[in-house]
Structure 1
């Protein structure tokens, strides 16, 4: 199965942004990479005109046969999360999966995969606004509303539209490794790995709390002092809260824990040092607050799926990788 052939399904009433995500990552030529790049085909259930948001019209000569023939199929959304997709679409998805194709959904596209039975017994995600509905309509799916995307091997699902970009870059990382994925991310002017999950974007069901200002002040202090020893107790004292209250407010505001957030911030702070300096890894680790280089490497690899040294090579060309990605157009 040639996973480099990618098809994306256009549908009535979709946003240009939804196909734009896929086009930016898989449709533009990348001659700077010495690898077989992707071949993208934009399809529709019925070849012809597809009306988009804003009065635009997309024309494609490719229908479900071409969609199902690709090695990677992407469903960027559905027209109505309360309605069942057509039998033709669910049949095409099932047939492609039986052939060994990789099936991907972005945002509400998970409803099409679930209707085809491809998510039964699997962990999956969708936009946080639709997570409860997906779980109610498809109880066999293990819906995880707190993540940006779920990689379950041959089935991958992402949260709201922008999280589809995270998932597409992740697919490049899976197919071609971190050096090329990092270069693509830089060309798109996005981080190669976005910290946190979509829980941080969920609308708060309660009015703003004055204590949030103190929470924000403690986080700003932490960012300005990443090289210092920072504990939950110390952060709580900065916010004039008990540790228990601080943890509760922090989780509500960010969708994660203070220590997890701090580790992510330290990893992110290390990226420009790796990209633009030749400082030893141990020095970089100390500068951003990791006690040892070993600890830094562990957390860096968990977040970025590569080592600090390999990440640095992606921006220096030390091993023949991409040189200074981010210059020029996407």
Structure 2
């Protein structure tokens, strides 16, 4: 009696399990890194205020970045980072722009309990409907020297409260015209994930919120925590010529004079262009002599010397963080040729770009 061969039972799909070994090892290696200084409270804590009809993506990007950085593995405990959604009516859910409601975690806490206070704005039609207690709380936080963050149309709210006057603000392109019409004292710009003005930060919203969150994680918890969040959320860690990439590379230049602050911002925005002192002075409504005096008083440099130093600082970062050739970096940072770049770099840093990269 013959038997018909039985087809083997098909294997269950693995859903990429075998391919995840290396990423798991990578995350485990990050989690095993020693903590620099252990504290009784999380190193980064953000109090969150939700405006009516807020965007869910902005909230999710902020919280999920903190969640991945906060604990070992994927346990989601608030060990290194914490977050708390506050409301003067904590039992009342807040309706998002998609129609999904979020339940606040509780009432207002002391601003000093947080590293930052973030307000996520809603649709423009809803900006006037937020509870006035939110605005009072933002001023309370500012008076307590707790930095405030405006996410999405949260920048409108901070501007309405006078917190952005003569400062830079990151605004979504969809809202830029409305913002500029309503808030002429604010230097509103598009093309940024976020802008840090020290006491006040602004973020365009959407996935830019992830960029903001990972930068705050890097500052307060270390680059290992930021790397973990970026890796877990599949965020590309790219190097490009956007203003935010330049700002991350050269750092934030804290300047008190609003005219000089604007000039520095324009330099950072136009790092690859040839900028004359006369053009820069015209943009900030000063004479070239007045602007030069401000630069000398603040930095001990002329505007052109400051521009060159800023380009060299960016190039030094690229040498360490990119695989581009020295010639490519020279051209990327606005130098006419490689020899010109090397000469100025050696004068500024006391070594050649090649040695800087290899040391």
Larger Rg: 2
Residue of 85, 110, 116 corresponding to 1:72? 116
Q: Secondary structure at the match of 1:60?
A: coil
Q: What are the ranges of 5 or more consecutive residues in structure 1 without an aligned counterpart?
A: 200-259, 272-283, 299-306, 311-330
**What RMSD, in angstroms, separates the aligned Cα atoms of the two structures?**
4.0
Give TM-score, length-normalised by structure 1: 0.56
Q: 5 Å matches for 1:153-302?
A: 153-192=198-237, 195-197=240-242, 284-286=323-325, 289-290=328-329
Contact 1:78/1:111 (<8 A) preserved: no
Residue of 1, 16, 20 corresponding to 2:60? 20
Task: Describe the superposition over 1:258-305 as per-residue Cα deviations: whole angstroms up to 9, x where unpaired.
Answer: xx9xx99xx69x76xxxxxxxxxxxx444995578x97xx9xxxxxxx
Does the C-alpha gap of structure 1 residues 161 and 81 become closer, same or farther in structure 2, counting only changes over 3 Å?
farther
The alpha-carbon deviation at position 180 of structure 1 amounts to 3.1
Contact 1:8/1:67 (<8 A) preserved: no
Other-structure match for 1:39 = 82
**Equivalent-residue separation in structure 1 for 2:54 and 2:215 (angstroms):** 23
Q: Secondary structure at the match of 1:7?
A: strand
Other-structure match for 1:325 = none
The alpha-carbon deviation at position 115 of structure 1 amounts to 1.6
The question of 1:56 aligning with 2:96 is answered no
Residue of 106, 117, 122 corresponding to 2:167? 122
Does the C-alpha gap of structure 1 residues 49 and 160 become closer, same or farther in structure 2, counting only changes over 3 Å?
closer
Q: Secondary structure at the match of 2:139?
A: helix
Does the C-alpha gap of structure 1 residues 308 and 19 become closer, same or farther in structure 2, counting only changes over 3 Å?
farther
Does the C-alpha gap of structure 1 residues 132 and 82 become closer, same or farther in structure 2, counting only changes over 3 Å?
farther
Contact 1:172/1:181 (<8 A) preserved: yes
Task: Describe the superposition over 1:185-215 as per-residue Cα deviations: whole angstroms up to 9, x where unpaired.
Answer: 122111345635499xxxxxxxxxxxxxxxx
Task: Describe the superposition over 1:93-152 as per-residue Cα deviations: whole angstroms up to 9, x where unpaired.
Answer: 111011111211222110111122111121112111112222221222121223221111
Other-structure match for 1:131 = 176
**Equivalent-residue separation in structure 2 for 1:113 and 1:68 (angstroms):** 19
Does the C-alpha gap of structure 1 residues 168 and 195 become closer, same or farther in structure 2, counting only changes over 3 Å?
farther
Q: 5 Å matches for 1:77-116?
A: 77-80=121-124, 83-84=127-128, 85-116=130-161
Does the C-alpha gap of structure 1 residues 88 and 197 become closer, same or farther in structure 2, counting only changes over 3 Å?
farther
**Equivalent-residue separation in structure 2 for 1:178 and 1:31 (angstroms):** 15
**Equivalent-residue separation in structure 2 for 1:166 and 1:109 (angstroms):** 17
Does the C-alpha gap of structure 1 residues 114 and 2 become closer, same or farther in structure 2, counting only changes over 3 Å?
farther
The alpha-carbon deviation at position 179 of structure 1 amounts to 3.7
Contact 1:4/1:39 (<8 A) preserved: yes
Q: What are the ranges of 5 or more consecutive residues in structure 2 without an aligned counterpart?
A: 1-40, 245-310, 331-337, 346-355
**Equivalent-residue separation in structure 2 for 1:195 and 1:73 (angstroms):** 30
The alpha-carbon deviation at position 69 of structure 1 amounts to 4.9
**Equivalent-residue separation in structure 1 for 2:327 and 2:58 (angstroms):** 36
Which is further off, 21-30 or 101-110?
21-30
Task: Describe the superposition over 1:23-46 as per-residue Cα deviations: whole angstroms up to 9, x where unpaired.
Answer: 11123432269x961111122342
Give TM-score, length-normalised by structure 2: 0.52
How many residues of Structure 1 are paired with residues of Structure 2 in the alignment? 223
Does the C-alpha gap of structure 1 residues 129 and 171 become closer, same or farther in structure 2, counting only changes over 3 Å?
same
Task: Describe the superposition over 1:56-89 as per-residue Cα deviations: whole angstroms up to 9, x where unpaired.
Answer: 3222242344678533111122342674454322
Contact 2:52/2:126 (<8 A) preserved: no
**Equivalent-residue separation in structure 2 for 1:83 and 1:104 (angstroms):** 16
